[in-house]
Amino acid sequence: MPRNKLLLAVQFSAFCLTLPAIAHADTLASFINKGEINGVVRSYYFSKLYGASKKENADAYSLGGILNAKTASLDGFSAGVSFYTANSLGTHGDDSKKVDTTLMGIAPSINALGQAYLQYAMPKLLLIRVGNQVINTPWIGARDSRMLPQTFQGVFIKAQPIQGLTLEGMRIFRWKSRTSDDYHRDNLYYPTDYHDDPMYGVKAVLPKNAEVAQGTLAFAASYKGMGANLQAWYYNFYQFAQMFYGSAQYTLKTGTPFSPFIAAQFMREWQNNSIFQKYDAKLFAQSGSVNATLWGGKLGVKIPDGNVFVAYNALTPHADSFGGGAIVSPYGNYTAMYASFMTNNLLSFGPGHVWRLGATYWAWQKQIRFITGYSRFDTNYDGKTNGVYLDLTYFPKTLQGLSIRDRVAIDNGLKSYDGSSFIYNRLMLQYAF
């Protein structure tokens, strides 16, 4: 049994063995019987259509889902596990170049213990969770747009000492990617099959003999109140980069159905003698120390059943640095940036700037949600491009928990595709129970 699974099994067994000493038989029965079981069933079909002759069109289908089980709370203590599964049902074919491997990889199935944790909670005051778990922060998150979310192995703490103020801290040791069946000491800068980790969607800039990743330390403070939403984060992606990220948003309550809002964000990354320099790694054919500066703004208005906004992001180029000033995001998160969606973001394109128009609207008694966006990029390494995003979801009231979602992104003029168009379609059926 792998060391991390053995350690987790010992922790879980020790927790269970202490229960008789602190609870009567009826309390223990209640602890188990009053637990929760829920999950999702998913059927996803993805397709990529390239206008460039040098790129093969690709698609992928998968059926699977997530089953979560959580005990009731006993003096604040509880435990939870999640089983993840994804299955191609023999639809992938023989040519891996024609498979969208980001959906579930190339293997015919994935079966994994996605979560297995112990936690102590004081409602609205303190949460401590240890083990394999889902974590959501601006630059470390589940990225749950494929069959299975990313999960992380470590310790997570959240405290709310006063109303509106939240403090968070975490130490991550390993992670499980969206296409992996176990936890590993790597990230998306390592190659596929690094130490037998079948992860896909990587920016493989490190060699297969690179040293293992040491994980991440992060902590934050955030405040919500009086129309303001503020947050500040520090991340230490050990060996890779240190990051400061902050954002602020203010919504003006007008007493009408229309509420204007304004937001700003800033990110700074740095690291001398990083693992990229140790192995002379290059991104966009640029190497050096980590040196990235991102800033952005957002202006919009909340309207009845939706919102409309305009956003801007700029990623400053830095000479003699990794990726020419590229963002280092070991777990692939890009949604923190205001002017990003699906295939269009400065994490993928590198230094440059982007404008985005976007809108969300709910219709038909909130059974239909429509999201749309248009963006224009001017980048240092992928040239000028524009993109359109369309996202339509149906939530039928006759079958609670079911959603049918179709997402389409169209890129035009990318240099890496010979200036041709790229169309990415994701049809996503999900039933939550």
* Helices within 352-410 (DSSP H only): none
- The Cα–Cα gap between 95 and 110 comes to 19
Per residue in 330-342, pLDDT (tens digit) is 999 999 999 998 8
**Is residue 416 predicted with pLDDT exceeding 80?**
no
Higher pLDDT, 413 or 315: 315
Using CA atoms, how far apart are residues 13 and 11, in angstroms rounded to an integer? Answer: 6
- pLDDT at 56 (0 to 100): 87
Rounded mean pLDDT, 187-199 = 97
Beta bridge partner(s), residue 232? 221, 246
- Look at residue 33 in the predicted model and tell me its pLDDT: 74
Domain of 391 in residue numbering reads as 3-432
Q: If pLDDT is split at 50, 70 and 90, which confidence band does 15 have? A: very low
pTM for this predicted structure:
0.91
pLDDT at 55: 81
404's CB contacts (< 8 A; 6+ apart) are 393, 394, 428, 429
What is the pLDDT, as a whole number, of residue 412?
A: 84
Q: Token pair 């980590």 is at which residue?
A: 290
Instruction: Using pLDDT thresholds of 50, 70 and 90, give the confidence band for residue 147.
Output: very high
Q: Which helix (H) or strand (E) holds 265?
A: strand 259-271
Decide if pLDDT at 386 tops 80.
yes
Q: Residues 191, 194, 200, CA angle at the centre, nearest 5°?
A: 50
Q: Encode pLDDT of 270-289 as tens digits.
A: 999 999 999 999 999 999 99
From the list 322, 326, 343, 345, the residue with the least C-alpha distance to 334 is 345
Number of domains the chain contains: 1
Q: Please, what is the average pLDDT of the chain?
A: 92
Cα 327 → chain centroid: 15
Q: What is the DSSP-derived secondary structure letter of residue 331?
A: T
Give SS3 for 409.
strand
What count of Cα atoms within 13 Å lies in the side-chain half-sphere of residue 185? 12
Does 19 score more than 70 pLDDT?
no
Compute the average pLDDT of residues 104-124: 96
What's the CA gap between 355 and 311, in Å, rounded? Answer: 6
Find the mean pLDDT for residues 11-35: 55
State whether residue 310 is helix, strand or coil: strand
pLDDT > 90: percent of the chain: 85
Domain CATH number, residue 200: 2.40.160.10
